[in-house]
Amino acid sequence: MKSVSFEMHVSEVFDLSDGRTVFVGSIDSESPFLGPGPCELWIEGELVSTFEIEGEMLPDRWTSAGQRAVSTLEAVEVDRNRIRSSHAVLKSRELPALSASGTARESTSFGRTG
């Protein structure tokens, strides 16, 4: 499944007993489902962590008022209170394109940073 580009404005983060960290918030994406892929956590414009998400956890869409959730099993070494009290954004991260040999090659997207 191809990863979908998105930005989540994080409103809550919590840890489950099985080791997952769950991020909840509103998502800037028209996609009905977010699959697994690489992400970046930004707080107040500063990149603080990168990790793989497992994909979207499907909340009860009737009561969640536009809130959606994604999770990761990777360690996210950021103070949870800092995430809750600051402008935190979880962004999908594009993987480098692969050449025919399967090795990463330079992107041809000019004028992009990140």
Please give the angle made by the CA atoms of 2, 52 and 3, to the nearest 5 degrees. 10
Mind listing the pLDDT tens digit for each residue in 80-114?
888 888 999 999 887 555 445 444 444 333 333 44
Contact 93, 38 (CB under 8 A): yes
Cβ 22 vs Cβ 14: under 8 Å: yes
Does 59 score more than 90 pLDDT?
no
**DSSP letter assigned to residue 102:** S
> Which CATH class, in words, describes the domain spanning 7-92?
mainly beta
pTM of the complete model beyond 0.75: no
pLDDT of residue 96: 53
